[in-house]
Amino acid sequence: MSALEIETSSEAKERPAASRTPRGLGIAGLLLPIALAALWEFLVGAGLANGRLMPPPSVVGKTLWRLAVSGDLLTHATATLWRVAAGFGLGAAVGTVLGALTGALPVARGLLDPTLQALRSIPSIAWVPLFILWFGIFEASKVALIAVGVFFPVYLGVAAAILSIDRKIIEVGRVFRLSRFAMVRRVLLPAILPAWIVALRSGLGLGFMFVVAAEIMGASEGLGYLLVDGQQLGRPDTIIAAIIAFAVLGKLADGLLIAITRPFLAWQDLGRDKL
Amino acid sequence: MLSFDSLSKTYADGTHALSAITTKVAPGEILALVGGSGCGKTTLLRLVAGLDQPSAGKIALNGDVILEPRADVGVIFQEPRLFPWLSVAENVAFGLSHLSAFEREGLVTNALVRVGLAGYEKRWPRELSGGQQQRVAIARALITRPKLLLMDEPFSALDATTRASLHGHLLSLWEESRPTVVMVTHDVEEAVTLADRIIVMQPRPGRIFDELDNPLARPRDRLSPTFEAAKREVLRSLDRSLRDEEPQQSKAAETAGMWW
């Protein structure tokens, strides 16, 4: 959490000042990458290093700009984002439902969990040939691969969260004679919400990992295609531009997820910034 | 009328927690259960709450056998057990979902005033001290106007001053609708302050050792000689309950020693 985020949260005024990240430290994190970039720029500019395989920041910046102006960057980024969104939606939905089932019902846990745990130990990329045979070489196989990648962290997170709900708080629900449905809606769901969001975030991270894999294996557009394209044309600046685009998109998507879910977690009693 | 009829509880692991508990609690009576640790006080309370099932015997409230939690029974646990994702007002109103928002608001405001937390409606539980959280729990249990209120050492985690003020809050809330109260405590002074009758329990298996009527009129003055006398009587009984148990224990130790 950055200093700014803590500042804006509502409880900031009640926290001791020492618990906040000092403002200077957020900037300190930028010093190293900027210094390295400046050094590389200088070395290449002064002719002390060859910038062909590792282009200096100015060249990468120019490539990014060219891609942005031509509209290619938007096309590729949109294609990638669409795949991640579809795969994430699918994987997160199935993972949540199955995680809730195995977490809540011992029968479902006995039946499903061993199989799912076994499937989990398969490296997800291993599915690619099969998925291509099953779903063709176009979008469906890519979305399926991403969905598989997103599924497991979400499934594990939700199942574990349900198993770790405090018995004491469920008893309060029993004392108030909640129906099964009301118990789920009023006690279980809110109780697992923080863990669910963490699971979604790690799922989203894996979604971006798998979209690269899927696009490298064969695509005509997308940031992953841009990577392969850069390799085949011998354009490292294109590759680095695509990597930067991935970093920005991943961070933005994660930030969006945090921003959307933050209002639902305002109740949390977190003292972790202090540690 | 709450009646216990030769109630026994043996847990799945063989622990004989309660044995042949028989007694009656009159409507509006405050009954305190005291006794050394492991004498089944909390087990007894959980059975009355319907959270566990008795192994033998039965508990009946006005003739209905208690087998599961009931709408007219309120429980205050040892810990506040508030829902951290609900505001103070939402926590207090947890058992009122059948009412309209408007009705709920009125009741909640009134209940919070009663426990000295007026104006805390919008706070999160994490922003309250332990004593304040327990007061929210008291308000949550009493707002549904239960006929029977169960309390499991509700003030044990609090300091003496907070405890004394909560006793006051509790009695003033009790005055409103005069529910029957069964409370577990290990604090003899608390028992004498609140209860009309005190049951001293003995462990292994949990059973009733002694029943003491508390003749003091309310409001009770903790510093009066009669209060002191009542307290001494309970302490003496408690002492005897522990002493009676000792020979049994050493016998058990001897037998265990003979094993090899």
- Asked if pLDDT for residue B167 goes beyond 80, the answer is yes
Sign of CA dihedral B74, B167, B202, B212: negative
CA neighbor of B249 nearest in space, from B257, B239, B237: B257
Q: Is the peptide bond before B27 cis (omega within 30 degrees of 0)?
A: no
CA max distance for chain A = 77
> Is residue B4 a contact partner of residue B22, using CB atoms and an 8 Å limit?
yes
Give B-chain residues touching A182 at CB under 8 angstroms: 97
| Nearest CB partner across the interface for A168, out of B81, B94, B126 | B81
Q: What is the ipTM of this complex?
A: 0.83
B94 and B140: one domain? yes
Distance CA A68, CA A78 (A): 12
pTM summary value? 0.76
Which run of H or of E encompasses B32? strand B30-35
CB contact under 8 A, A190 and B127: no
Do B214 and B100 fall within a single domain?
A: no
Q: Using CB atoms, which residue from A174, A186, A269 is nearest to B126? A: A269
Statement to judge: residues B231 and B159 lie in one domain:
yes
The answer to whether A268 contacts chain B (CB < 8 Å) is yes
**Residue B19, pLDDT above cutoff 90:** no
Domain boundary among B145, B162, B192: B145
* Domain end residue (candidates: B145, B162, B181): B145
The C-alpha atoms of residue A108 and residue A121 are separated, in whole angstroms, by 20
- Residue A185 reports pLDDT greater than 90: no
Domain count across chain B? 2
Residue A215 CA to residue A247 CA, distance in Å, equals 16
B208 shares a domain with B184: yes
To which H or E segment does residue B201 belong? Answer: strand B197-202
CA dihedral sign, ordered A148, A149, A150, A152: positive
Positions of E strands within chain A: none
Mean pLDDT, residues A93-103:
92
CA-to-CA distance for A28 and A21, rounded, in angstroms? 11
Residue A7: pLDDT above 60?
no
d(CA A113, CA A106): 10
**pLDDT for B87:** 92
Q: How many CA atoms lie within 13 A of A35 on its CB side?
A: 6
- Residues of B at the A interface, defined by Cβ within 8 angstroms: 49, 51, 68-71, 73-75, 77, 79, 81, 83-87, 94-95, 97, 124-127
More confident residue, A115 or A1: A115
Which tokens sit at B242? 């522990």
Residue B24 lies in a domain: yes
- Please tell me the distance from the alpha carbon of residue A82 to that of residue A72, in angstroms, as a whole number: 15
Eight-state DSSP code of residue B206: B
Per-residue pLDDT, A17 = 43
Residue B10 sits in which domain range? 2-72+148-255
Indicate whether B167 and B43 sit together in one domain: yes
Q: Is A175 on the interface with B (CB under 8 A)?
A: yes
- Which pLDDT band holds residue B198 (cuts at 50, 70, 90)? very high
Q: How close, in Å, is residue B81 to chain A by CA atoms?
A: 6
Work out the percent of chain B whose per-residue pLDDT is above 90: 20
Tell me: do B94 and B108 sit in the same domain: yes
Q: State the architecture of A57-274 in CATH terms.
A: Orthogonal Bundle (1.10)
Q: Is B211 helix (H, G, I), strand (E, B) or coil?
A: strand
> What is the mean predicted confidence (pLDDT) over B40-58?
89
What residue in B sits closest to A187 (Cα-Cα)?
A: B83
Q: What's residue A1's pLDDT?
A: 40
In the predicted structure, residue B260 carries a pLDDT above the cut 60: no
pLDDT grade, residue A217 (50/70/90)?
Answer: confident
C-alpha–C-alpha distance, residues A197 and A264, integer Å: 10
Backbone angles phi, psi at B67, to 5 degrees: -125, -20
Chain A closest CA to B189's CA: distance in Å?
Answer: 28
Same domain? B11 vs B133: no
Nearest to B94 among A14, A176, A191 (CB): A176
Domain boundaries, chain A: 1-49, 57-274
Regarding whether B215 and B192 lie in a shared domain, the answer is yes
- pLDDT tens, B205-250? 888 888 888 888 878 888 888 888 888 888 888 888 887 765 555 5
Mean pLDDT value across chain A: 85
Same domain, B225 and B202: yes
Strand partners, B9: B18
Distance from CA of A33 to the nearest CA of B (A): 40
Find tokens 């028992």 and name the residue.
B191
Closest by Cβ to B51, choosing from A174, A186, A268? A174
Say if residue A14's pLDDT is above 60. no
For the cut 90, the answer to whether the pLDDT of residue A88 exceeds it is yes
A10 touches chain B (CB under 8 A): no
Alpha-carbon distance A113 to A102, whole Å?
Answer: 7
Say what the pLDDT of residue A28 is.
82
Q: Which of A90, A80, A87 is nearest to A252 (CA)?
A: A80
Asked whether residue B162 falls in the same domain as residue B214, the answer is yes
pLDDT at B106 over 70: yes
Determine contact, residues B127/B22, Cβ cutoff 8 Å. no
* CA distance linking residue A176 with residue B74, whole number of Å: 8
Provide the 3-class DSSP secondary structure of residue B149.
strand
* A174 contact residues in B (CB cutoff 8 A): 51, 69
In a domain, B260, yes or no: no
CA-CA-CA-CA torsion sign (B126, B132, B137, B140): negative
Whether B256 has a pLDDT exceeding 70, the answer reads no
Domain's final residue, options B94, B123, B145: B145
Instruction: Report angle CA B127, B133, B139 to the nearest 5 degrees.
Output: 130
**B39 and B155, same structural domain?**
yes
- CA–CA gap between residue A61 and residue B184 (Å, rounded): 72
Q: Which of A169, A175, A191 sits opposite B75 (nearest CB)?
A: A175
